Structure formats: structure tokens, C-alpha cells
Amino acid sequence: MIHVPGTPGLARAVSGGQVPVGSSPPAEAVACHTCGLTDPVGVDDPSPRLSWAARLLHPERLTVSTGGCEVWARDLPPGTSWADVPEEALEPLTPYTWSVAGHLGGTFVTGLRAGGAWDAPWIEDGGNESGEGAVRLGGTFGWEPRPGRVWLATTALGVYRAVLNGERLGDEELAPGWTDYGRRVRYRLADVTALLRAGENLLEIWLAPGWYAGHVAAGGPRRYGDHPAASARLFLRDPEGVHPLAATGPGWTAGDLGMPRADLVMGETVRLGSSPDLEPSPRTGETPPGRDGTARLTDSGRERAVAVAQPPPGLLVEADPAPPVREIGTLAAASVTEPVPGVHLLDFGRNVVGRLRLRIDTPYPVHLVVRHGEELTATGRLYDANLRTAEQRDEFLLPAGRHVAEPTFTFHGFRYAEVTGWPGGMSAGDAEAVLLSSALPVTGTLTASDPAVRQLVSNIVASAEGNLLSVPMDCPQRDERAGWTADISVFASTLSFLRHTQAFLSGWVTTLIDGQRRDGAVPHVAPVLPEYGFDSPVWSDAIVEVPWLLWRRYGDDRTLRRAYGPMRRWADYCLAQCDDGVRPGRALGDWLAPGTVETPRSLIATAALARSLRLIADVAGVLGEPHARAYGEASTMVSGAFQRAFLTEHRLRTETQTGYALALAWDLVPPKNRARAAAALAELVRADGHRLMTGFVGTPLLLPTLSETGHHDVACRVFNQEGHPSWRYQLRAGATSMWERWDAWHHRRGMHTPTMNSFNHYAYGCVGDWLFRHVAGVGDDPRGVNGGFTEPLLRPGPVPLLRQAHARYDSPAGTVESGWRAGPDGLQFVFRVPPGVTARAVLPVHGTWDGMTVNGTFLMGLAERLPTRRLADGSCSLDLPSGRWSITAPAAAADPLLSAWDEL
């Protein structure tokens, strides 16, 4: 973290006074990143980008040093918020410190910097023919203390934990994550200097099938290979350079870990027998099966030789560019019941993702079976039909004594856990849920006076955290758990308000590109699973949408450039399919939309192509590529074809909420017909009873489109709808995470078909973007092209049934806040604009502006310093420089909002 000085007080803010970054001691923490990460260890980017969430107001100097010696420096002009360190300034396996203005900065450690090359041998358990379960691979090496630092680089085709001399290395879970194993795999780097001892040292790799050899989606096990494999090398980094010390190889041995079954989807079996070398934890006296390196569950009498494995040809091994999966918290059981004798049911109060940790003191050996599920049946038993073939079942075979029972190489999606075999009565203190997620830093908060809205935001966060495990999954419980492209594409903006997503999504874009076919078709899931298909509109357009979001939100032109060629191949592939500019309907359409009128799939395909072509033209402009004009003209051509094929003046030939939302949000309606098309959409929504008739394609666009086209009142009515289908219907039904279907559970029909019914699916959490932008008011221009959130648009939109709403976003340009409070005495708006930034505020204040005040001064007296403009809809627009702002409007300004309350 770094710090910038505080912003001026309210009275001074009227003059737009600013405090230069770096001119005074730190007052408020601001995030600093290297390649989008906080103080990363293992950076393989040849020219790492250093960034800080503040814009310099004066020239400053950036320095990079190691061991107290400066290795590179650069003078930065005002307005700078990032810099790239040249490749030649850095050495491998070296810790660096960087700073700007003396107190802004961070650290990073370079990785191997080998361009994906990897020479350590790969090994596997030569005696485990089934490939199931977790095994221990171990080898010894000698060490004579000497100057320098020792680094361990470890990777796996599967998932692993590394243990050195009985101590677990790092806190990562399910390392090194899931990638397209035919193309690349990640490695993790650890400083092990302090754990070495003179003489012989024992390095162990606990290895399980993971995504490589375990169950993946519905395709069963061994998708990529029959057996997991691991590879590691130790290096000494001293003043003379980098020296290899030891590595995995044929001299290593393999042994059992007491986990004969370890599968991400199916679950894990942990067996603690009476083996003489079962060592209790020296810290607690308890035996924690699989929890860390303090307890070895091996049987030394069954050590066997390893086999040298062959990785896929051309496999790239790179430092992980994204945050690892970690334990992000625990949750105690809210209640324990015993629906039938010997069966205990734990309720954790909300849907979570992770695993169960049990604390047991048993006088005799026990066999515990733990099953996990999201819901209960009508008779109060665990409901698992929607898991399909996923078992989500863990077993523990424990001897008498005290134990902490927890699996290591699996995860589950659940609210309820059913435990059988517990000795005697079970209490809530005997169990806790361990929550797992790719640990992304928090960047945004949103609150409102309505408890239902607060619960909705909580549900959005729960589904976001639970489904970010190495890749952005669709769901965490059934036999799917895949990186569906449309889900993250429509949710990415909401997610990027709530969490710092740059490194995570950039790494996933690389995986998406890896799965692109040679003809340009883009897969529906990444890592690619061919059975799920290719080239569906919106799904495959994620190859354009997600890199563009990373540019707009973070100024990440590197991901944009990496994706530019694949974007063009995708666009050219689609254009080749067009008939007079109209792309044929494809695959998935407006997935899971309710109602009886389907949005034509060719309409969706053509609209999505027009948008992607326009975005690619914008990308070309940002990158200085020569193709902007060509793709702009192609977008105009496809837009014209859309109008001829699907519009009659301002009305769609097939009227659906999704169709209108696409046409309006993506500027496919001629400007002269735009207002009437927006009115037609509002009319259609009213005719539908203000109920959602949209699926995965239309839902993220419907409310923003209504709000942006002068029908915010209609958007609010849809949002406040409590009948089915709606967000509030799910809340009334007790949802604690986002559902896959609007009617995952229905008050008359009960559970939806179990073949596809997830209660933890973040896609419909895309409404969070509307809440940030159009309710609380934190956003940027959706049609802008500049990167890094440098032009905030503060557009609060009071909602009937809410007395107040407020959002904060720690953007790459600094902290932005927007909020409002309403009552019979008027409206109050509060804003915060970071140093060096000017924000445009649009206030829903119609009629006369007499009586409005800004930080206690009448607005009309600030015409020269805060010029105001009346927009076409009568609202007030003004440019706010850096500072904190409080703007009040008299009672008359609140009349429209209060009248809407009256109607409700």
C-alpha cells in the first residue's frame, strides 16, 4: 500500500483546491501494484508495469532498487500513474523495491524470466496405476550454508502442496491452478532460505489429480492425462548469479498420503491408520489430516520409485500472473440438527464455497461421511439432485483421539453439510466452513437504506468470491464448474467495482486465447472444453469485451494488445459467415430468458458482431494500429444490416426486452428513432408487468438502457418488483447467493429441473453495475474510450423505497464516491473526486435550481467556478474538480421521487 495526502475540506473544495501527491506525508492508503498484483513474488513479465492508484500532480522521480542499490530510475511528468521497468534493468530471482515521491511504492521478486522454458524433470508416482488419490513425492538434498537466498520453483500437472523439512510452503490452495494444459502451466516461487538446515533436507510435494487427471465438468476423470505429475527446482541466488541446487528426478520416491481418493468434484477420503510414523502436530497435539506440513500421513514402509513423466510437447511453464486461491475466512455453523438418529445436519446460514473443518475427540475409531448440498428437501434432508454426477462427499477414517479433520485437494459448493458416523451428539462448535477463493483485493462497497438491497449486494459478493477459484467458474457445486465466457463477460464490470480484477482477468484472457481455434472461433469456456462448443454470440465475444473492460477500468493496454490479434481473427471469422451483413443465429441465444417470445438468435448474433467490430476499431485507435477505419466501416455495415433485417423504423419486428436493450445499448437504432425505440421498450416492460423477461444476454443491459434513455422510473419499477421473475423474488425466497435461473425455486413448482439448477451463479449479479452507476452514481461514460477510470461520471439516481444509497470505488485514478439521501425536505448528494481528476456529475434535479447549495454556498453564486448545464432531460450537469462535495436540492427537487413512492 502507498499513501496520498487527504483531499481538501468541504469549504475549500468549492475552489477545486488540490494537494499534490507526494508533497506531504501520507494520509490515506492507496493501492500500489506490480503487474496488477500487490508485492508479488515471481514476476516473469519482461518489463513489469508499476502502478499506483493516484495521479501525480507534480513531476516526481520513480526509483527501483535492490539491496539498497538503485538499478533504474525515471522522472515522471504530472498525471502519471504507472511506469514500465525496462527488461535490461532486472535480473532473475531478485527482490526489488520501488518508490515514487519517497512514500509511494511496493516490492516485487522477479521469477525465472525464462520465456516459458523449463528444464526440471517431471515425475509421477510410478506405483499408483489408478491415478486417483493424493500421493507424496519426496527427495533429499544437501545444503551447506552460504551467502545468498534459495528459491524453490514448483509446478504440477494436477494440484500440489510443497513441504520442506516438515513445514508447508506458502498458503496457496489448489496450486498451480487450472490452465489449458496443452499450452501452458503456471509455477509458484517460494523463498525457502530460512527453512534450510545444514546437511540433509527433505523436500516433499503432495500431489493430487486436480483438474489435470481428476473429474472436470461432466466429462469424467483423466481429461488431460492419466496421472498427475510434478516438477520443481531449487536455485541459489547470490551476488555471482543464479545457480541450480537440486530438482525433482528419478532418485525421488513416492508414498501414500492417506488420501486414497482426492477429487475436486467428487470429494476426498482421508484415512488415518495406526502407522507408526503418523506424527501429531507439535503445535496442537491434534492430528490434522491434510491441513499442513506438520502432520505426515505417509507409510514409510511403502515407499516406491517415481516414474519420469513426459509433459505435453511445447508446454510453457510461466510464473502465475494472478492471485492464488487462498483460505479467505471461516464460517461457524449456524445450527446443528439430527433429522434421523446418527445423521447430523449442519446449516451454515448461507451458500459458501470451500470445505468443512471438523474438530473431533473420539474414544474409538470412526468413519465419518460428509455430504454437501445447497438446499434441503421438503422433509428437511440434504438436497443433492442438482449436483448431477458430482458427489461432493468427503470421508474420514480416524483412530481414537483428538483430530482436526479437513480435506486438502477438493472444494464444494454448499450451505448444508450432512455428517454421519459422529460419535455421540454434535454441536455447532465442532465444525466450521473454510472459505476458498482467488484472493482479490476489495475495491468497492455499496450500501443502501433498504435491507433487501444490502442482502442483494451481499449475495453478489458471495457468488463472486465463491466462483473465483483459479478461473471464473459458472458454479461451484455440480459437475460443471467451468469458465463460461458469457457469465464473466456480463459480470466483469460489477466484479471490477467490487474487487481488483486486473491480474486475475488478464490471466484468464490468456487462457481464453489459448483455446481459440485456428479458424478464429472462440470457445464458450476457458480453459477450453470442446464439448461445450465454440462461436456463440456474446459468449465468444468475451475475447473482445473482457480486454476492453480491463483497458477502460485499469488502463491495461498490455492485455488489449495481447488480445488484439485474436479479436481480429474472431471478427473476421464472424464476418465470413454473414449474409448481406446479417450473421446467422448461433447456439445459446438469450440463455434462460423467461417468457414465450424468444429473441431471434440472428438478431443477437448480428448485434453482438456490430458491437465487437466497433470495439475492435476503438482498440485499434488506442493501440495505434492501422485497422480502425476498416473495422469501423465493417461495424457500420453490420449495423445497417441489423436495421434492415430487424427494425421497422423504431420498432423491432420481434419485440422483446432483450432485443430492444441490445439495439439501444449498442447504438443500433438510428439516432432519429432512438427516443421512440426507448419509449417502445418502456412500453413493453410495462406491458410485462415490470417483470424481467431477459436472460444472460439481455439482463445486464435492460436496467442501464432504461435509465440512460430517460426511463429510470421504469428501471426502478423492475428493480423493485417482488414477483417472479425478479431479483427481489429470489431474496424473498431466502437466497443467500445469486441463482442461475430466475425460478431455481418457485413457490408453486418447487425446485427447477435438477439437470441444470445452480443456487450459486454470479451472472445475474450483473445488476450490481446498475446499482453502482445509476443508483449510487459511481461510474464512467459507457461510450468513452479512455483508459484507467480517469473520467468519472457521477450520476446518482434515487430509487423509490430507498431513502439513501452510497458507493465507494477505489479506482486506479483514486477513490471515487457518490451517494444521495432523500426526504420531504429535499435531496442531498455527496461526492468525492480524487486528486488530479475532474468528474462530471449529472443530478436528477429538474425545474428551477434556486435554493441548491454546494458545500454550503448557493449554486447560482458559483457560476464562474462551477458552470452548470441543463441537459435535454432537464437534469443538471456540472464538472467537479478534486475534493469532497455536498450538494443539496430543496424539497421541490424530491417531489418526483416522493410521488413515485406514492404510486408504490
Place of cell 499534490: 20
Please report, as a single letter, which amino acid is at residue 512.
L
Active site residues: 480, 740
Angle between helices 601-623 and 557-575 (to 10 degrees): 140
Instruction: Find the helix or strand (DSSP H, E) in which 306 lies.
Output: strand 304-309
Q: How far is CA 654 from CA 408, 596, 657, 690, 845, in A?
A: 52, 12, 10, 19, 36
Q: Which three cell numbers stand for residue 586?
A: 448461433
Q: Which three cell numbers stand for residue 460?
A: 453478489
Using DSSP, state whether 30 is helix, strand or coil.
strand
Distance (Å, whole) CA 163 – CA 826 = 63
A 10 A CB-CB count for 624 gives 8
Please report, as a single letter, which amino acid is at residue 11.
A
Q: Which three cell numbers stand for residue 836?
A: 488530479
- Residue 827: name the closest of 794, 863, 853 by CA: 853
Distance (Å, whole) CA 776 – CA 818 = 6
DSSP of 507-522: HHHHHHHHT--TTS--
Q: Which three cell numbers stand for residue 203?
A: 523436500
Rounded to whole angstroms, the maximal C-alpha distance in the chain is 88
Distance (Å, whole) CA 890 – CA 888 = 7
- Residue 372: name the closest of 765, 763, 764, 759 by CA: 759
User: Is the Cβ–Cβ distance between 688 and 594 less than 8 Å?
Assistant: no
> What residues pair up with 431 in beta bridges, in sequence order?
358
- Residue 120: name the closest of 253, 248, 227 by CA: 248
Q: Write the secondary structure of 594-620 as one string of H (helix), E (strand) and C (coil).
A: CCCCCCCHHHHHHHHHHHHHHHHHHHH
CA dihedral angle for residue 440, residue 446, residue 447, residue 453, rounded to 10 degrees: -90
Using DSSP, state whether 329 is helix, strand or coil.
strand
Please report, as a single letter, which amino acid is at residue 827.
L
Distance (Å, whole) CA 98 – CA 85 = 10
Q: Which three cell numbers stand for residue 394?
A: 468427503
Q: How far is CA 893 from CA 167, 288, 365, in A?
A: 64, 63, 72
Angle between helices 557-575 and 502-514 (to 10 degrees): 40
A 10 A CB-CB count for 16 gives 16
CA atoms within 13 A of residue 448's CA, in its CB half-sphere: 24
In angstroms, what is the C-alpha Rg of the chain?
A: 28
Q: Is 610 left (phi over 0), alpha (psi -120 to 50) or beta?
A: alpha
- Residue 223: name the closest of 210, 236, 214 by CA: 214
Place of cell 473431533: 360
DSSP of 634-698: HHHHHHHHHHHHHEETTEESS--HHHHHHHHHTT-S-GGGHHHHHHHHHHHHHHTTT-----TTT
Pairing of strands 651-652, 745-746: unpaired
Q: What are phi and psi of 8, to 5 degrees?
A: -65, 160
Q: Which three cell numbers stand for residue 634?
A: 465493417
Q: DSSP class of residue 441? A: P
